[in-house]
Structure 1
Amino acid sequence: MTLSALSGIKVLDLSRVLAGPWCTQMLADLGADVIKVERPIAGDDTRHWGPPFLRDDDGEATQQASYYTSCNRNKRSITIDMATPEGQRLIRKMAAEADVLVENFKVGGLKQYSLDYDSLNTVNPRLIYCSVTGFGQTGPYAERAGYDLMVQAMSGLMSITGHADGEPGGGPLKVGVAVIDVFTGLYAANAVQAALHARNASGKGQHIDMALLDVAMAIQCNQASGYLASGKAPTRAGNLHPSLAPYQDFPSADGNVLLAIGNDGQFARFCATVNHPEWSADERFATNSNRVKHRAALLALMMPVMKTRTTGEWVTLFEDKAVPCGPINTLAEAFDDPQVKARGLRIDLPRWGNEADVAPAPDGVSTVPGVVNPIRMSGTPITYRNAAPSLGQHTDEVLREIGLADADIARLKTEKIV
């Protein structure tokens, strides 16, 4: 049996939507046993964020949104009504045996249930408790709800994303994926693993405070540092790079092609390949700094040349010249790309994992498509046990593990606590 990096770590997932679930999916992929607690009947909000919806084994659309499946694989789902005293007791019982708890309720939202960090720290001092919120546990905005789109706007990210004002299609744009949620999940997963390592030395857990706004500011890296160094706020520039040239898309004979030239050697090879070696000898373009300074003049020369070949012809031409060049694909084209296929980046996972003695999923979906985890480790590889679970799929199993008898479970179901 392959050893996973986080084998033996138990995670209680009280989060929903994307940032928290992305964190816990990462931990699950690395081998942790993640128990996702959901509301009875409704479940995680994203189970209903569709279309698109999953299709059952007969090809018919179900009521299960595909959004949920993107960030909940390898987990077990249990339904508990945490608004009830008995539901709270069940969660506290699970927290007492857990290594990690991840939640994304509003600041103070779990205190009323005695499920906040201070309450659970008395139950389990070794517990690593990760809170994910829009604005953090402190500050004037701490009580506000935070969503990815709002934070993309507030952080300045939308001020540097999109075409410049006055250009066709100009104006602020959000990134096409909820990138702040995803990055917050990744930062949170890193923090949890660091806290687990620290616990090995101290024997104690700790509280992790993750905020979408904090992450949004941090990931703007060179754009943020450029502003702090110069005092000048960057603006939208489409696909141009503020510090590199040429590093953008160009119209080709049949669409668009992307050049990502990052140094003077690559530019010289580009110029030689397109039969214009004089460009790299021109003082205006000989160095990257000068190319950025004289970007308009350089683009005026390059644009007509880039229109003389198709995107595919340019990619083929530059492939053995060490000049970064590629197509601008749709997702359909990306999944059909031979490199994507060779790396096995699509995966189709069984809803029920390796369990052979269970009934078919109630929604009729036995296999769920998804994208693999990009981490590849030789000694403790990512494991894929099951697709995102159906709602409450593992309720009985998990309750038995914390000592409940079948009669107790039946009563909890009758009383609609689970």
Structure 2
Amino acid sequence: MISIKIRLVGGKDDRSFNVIQVDNKILYVDLKKKIKSVTFIPIDFQELHFRGERLPVVERPIQDIKFGEEIVVKHSLLETWRMYLMLCDSANDTEKEKSERTMCAQSAIDNSKRLEDSGFFLAYFNFVTVWIDTIGEMMRLVDRTQDAFEQSATRFFTKKFPNSTLKFNPKQGGSRAGIVVTVTCNGEETTYYMKTYHREMFAYRLLEVIGVGPVVFFPFYDGPTNIHYIATEEVEEFKELDKIDDVVLQKKLVVEVYLLSLILGIRDLHEGNIGSTREKALSIIDFYVVDTDNFQRRRILDDLKNKSNAGEIGKVREILTEIEYEERMKIAKDALPKWSRINSITIDIIGVEIRELQELGTKYRIGTDDVESYLEDIKFNYDSICLAFQ
């Protein structure tokens, strides 16, 4: 075995990783797997250089490597990222025709999907903040549902809060279209964040019930196309993860959110979507549910132990990888009793909403069978991790 270095280039700054041990007779494909475990760049998107030249595609490419030498790695879609930023600039150029701006925005969205699917932001997490802000702008430029948002919000909130006044503002950041609704009723202002959703209705209400999500409502729009929305009430004194100075609290929140992501199959849990409440408890204000028919994790404890399975980007993964095994396990064990209601929850937590949609002549989009299956899987996950800690 020999000690070598891995250096990732192409980001704002180069990143050098801890020295790794490899056999100089390692196979080409095994070397790429080793590099993936360090940089998170999938094998098919790695560009490798050694001694200033592309690493040759041969069976055993580093037989003559010496102690302390480095392999330079970059993601093959770096140019796609640069093109994405150029397209965003063009789409935001107000001197261009609207049709041209829309076309640039759509091209930027297409490039963004390629980057996201290739694991680009897992490697270059310093680009995440720019990406989140810009992709939201691009989505809004091509979106045609703003009027539907406002009509739905007006009908829902004026019925819920008679004699109230509403103010609408564009949603800032994020990859989903949406608006911010400020409701003024009896002299008090309450802010709601509204977006479209797919299978998240049940999951949002579940997080509210177990105490880690905001108060949530589900306005409905019955224009030319039936659309379901989510409106979440602003969490009082919510503090985003990267604005928390308490390192111990940061670690607690990150482990808890990672554990919930494993149990519930929820993603997009970056530092802007999670944080703490006034009581310093975990709060998840935005997420999406994985698109799969099977949420069971047969080896959930191993997944919790494995830092490389964090699956998130930016600050969350950075903090998670720094937490030692014993501390991670203690935080997880202490958190589980707080979510014990998972075992007793039924589809009835959204029963009122389903009946309202049925009265409007609309079928609940996901279907009760899918929710029952999801419930069964997440209860299996919760029971499995609880048993593992006994």
Q: Please report the TM-score for the alignment, with normalisation by the length of structure 2.
A: 0.29
User: Greater share of strand residues, 1 or 2?
Assistant: 2
User: Greater share of helix residues, 1 or 2?
Assistant: 2
Larger-gyration structure (1/2): 1
